[in-house]
Structure 1
């Protein structure tokens, strides 16, 4: 038995997080995924929302399973061009302004031109603003300083920048020798990297899957509806592969695979959860069970949209989610192993 090479997965994750892809502007990263898989003998197609669906036929073509990971990330959009030449933002996804204060960013115009900038509190300079530390970090007080010689809204517009342009954040990715992976957007590009490596290994080795399996690389998860469509009616099991959330009272860590019991949408399917735990125990895979209190996934979106499926959620443990994220190669490895053995398990008959 050979698992996908963990270091190759880490290198792939590094490439993925480096491609800007805020929700609503994901064509570049989806194209990268298509090119990554293009040399393999797998069926691929985009859905109308711009996500990518990969299908590998299995021995049983009646009862399917679907796995999903999302390639869209948090980001922002230009809300207003201020008279000073700075930009006011509107956030894409669920996070706080304090988590992007001081971050380098990139503004992409509708013609594809990109400008660098920095996200700052308007009252940043402590030499000028006495109460800089007390000012609320919100839409009114935060702005983008563009790295261009501009002093007015007209000068900004002359660059081609306009309301509605997408703003992406510098991932600041670092792969450390001791196995730690630091980067924005590990949610959920770490999981995307894992799934792509599994697809490549299965296709390259000619591994026979027991059931026809679909892999959805979704592109609207951060805004709530990435995985709620394009689910074949034969699908019985639907597993979202997304980050495990860490913090006070949580079991999830950066070294194991996290199996979600419940999130804000309610409990995940009890039978599938027990099946995943059984696979982990049988194969010596380090795992943690956990509840994510303020969380939703592509699987919960699929349930809300009315699909009659068995749904579950697992993923690598990610520290400081939706901010300065970090995980460890051990978590990548354990998540990969659980998914590999899960793909080789039987899908139950139609209920």
Structure 2
């Protein structure tokens, strides 16, 4: 067995800690500091980009042809669009999520002069005032507002508090960890993925695991706005596996149990050979899995490819019900993804040609063109059509 034993208590402890740190895209310094310090506790030497993406390397038998495991620290959120005459705030979303899930959320607003608590409300929120209009009001970011819990009833009052356009709004996660293994919270995308990565690293370091090639562990800070891995992938990386959420919903094959291996997302198919390797590892290591395709979904892998990085990409997911809403996962999936992650990073490197960025046809991969394990057969050609008779 190649997979390592995952410390589930450590994984869940990290998830709780990560969820307690606000990190909407653009306001991620605190969580970057936390994860960097945690990596150092594990005996690693992380390095940060200018804006705060994190890279740490577990050294293996060779440097070139390296592997990468990537997750993202940023979450959905909002920003102040306008200070209204009644002192309340118009918002725009950070990331792609529905105002339907913003309604009723408790939040923290971060201004230059400090933070404030508040609630996102529909413009017509009181049934005692608007009667049935509260049920017929349209859904959308133009139809909600942020009420700050402070002495403010006018635009001037709010501005005097130091609150202004562009201030960041972090949405409370409201996590619940249940005895039956279910976890409900906002921002499980992708803080559960970060917890999986940390638990996988903890297992590798605890077990003094030997990896055949350098493994880069990457933590990005702008995935929710499409930037993600655009600038953190280095030339020696040949293959990159993203850990993120898989959507469990009607018409999808994802599950809240086991590993969901994505075959494609809206950016196109994932790498055939890397994906097949992950599927084979699940079979060999008896890790429950299922495959899925996501039509309205992209991840760090897409941003890396679009930025021009010539890397093989794959996506392994923990199934999430109500993604980008009030999300739910199960600890079985978290453990399963961590098991597959460790099995992958200790597995042999099979495509030797990947150590070179460019080479000739020697050793190039080959995809099957005939049915599996069937010998090539000489096909019988159809009889030529007879010439028409008069």
- Which piece of structure 1 moves more, 39-48 or 18-27? 39-48
Structure 2 residue 105 is matched with structure 1 residue 103 = yes
Bigger radius of gyration, 1 or 2? Answer: 2
The alpha-carbon deviation at position 110 of structure 1 amounts to 2.4
Moved beyond 6 Å, runs of 4+: none
Q: TM-score, normalised by structure 2?
A: 0.87
Q: 1:5 aligns with which of 1, 7, 20?
A: 7
Q: What is the distance in 2 between the residues matched to 1:52 and 1:345?
A: 24
Q: 2:209 aligns with which of 173, 195, 207?
A: 207
Q: What is the distance in 1 between the residues matched to 2:60 and 2:112?
A: 42
1:239 aligned residue: 241
Structure 2 residue 271 is matched with structure 1 residue 269 = yes
2:374 aligned residue: none
1:195 aligned residue: 197
> 1:176-187 counterparts in 2 under 5 A?
176-187=178-189
Q: What is the distance in 2 between the residues matched to 1:140 and 1:275?
A: 46
User: SS in structure 2 opposite 1:340?
Assistant: helix
* Maintained 8 Å contact 2:4/2:339: no
Deviation digits for residues 4-46 of structure 1 (CA, Å, limit 9, x no counterpart): 2112211210110121000011000010101112223322111
2:352 aligned residue: 349
1:26 aligned residue: 28
> 1:128-147 counterparts in 2 under 5 A?
128-129=129-130, 130-147=132-149
Superposed CA RMSD: 1.2
Q: 1:260 aligns with which of 262, 273, 283?
A: 262
> 1:62-73 counterparts in 2 under 5 A?
62-73=64-75
> 1:1-351 counterparts in 2 under 5 A?
2-111=4-113, 113-129=114-130, 130-347=132-349, 348-351=351-354
The alpha-carbon deviation at position 2 of structure 1 amounts to 4.2
User: SS in structure 2 opposite 1:25?
Assistant: coil
Q: What is the distance in 2 between the residues matched to 1:97 and 1:350?
A: 48
Q: What is the distance in 2 between the residues matched to 1:190 and 1:237?
A: 22
Q: What is the distance in 1 between the residues matched to 2:288 and 2:10?
A: 21
Q: What is the distance in 1 between the residues matched to 2:73 and 2:64?
A: 29
Report how many aligned residue pairs link the two structures.
Answer: 350
* Maintained 8 Å contact 1:78/1:162: yes
Deviation digits for residues 40-98 of structure 1 (CA, Å, limit 9, x no counterpart): 33221111231111111101222101110001000000111111111110100011100
User: SS in structure 1 opposite 2:280?
Assistant: helix
The alpha-carbon deviation at position 311 of structure 1 amounts to 0.6
User: SS in structure 2 opposite 1:50?
Assistant: coil
The alpha-carbon deviation at position 317 of structure 1 amounts to 0.6
Q: Which runs of 5+ in 2 are unaligned?
A: 355-390
* Maintained 8 Å contact 2:19/2:191: yes
Deviation digits for residues 295-349 of structure 1 (CA, Å, limit 9, x no counterpart): 0010111111111111100121111000010000100111111111001112322
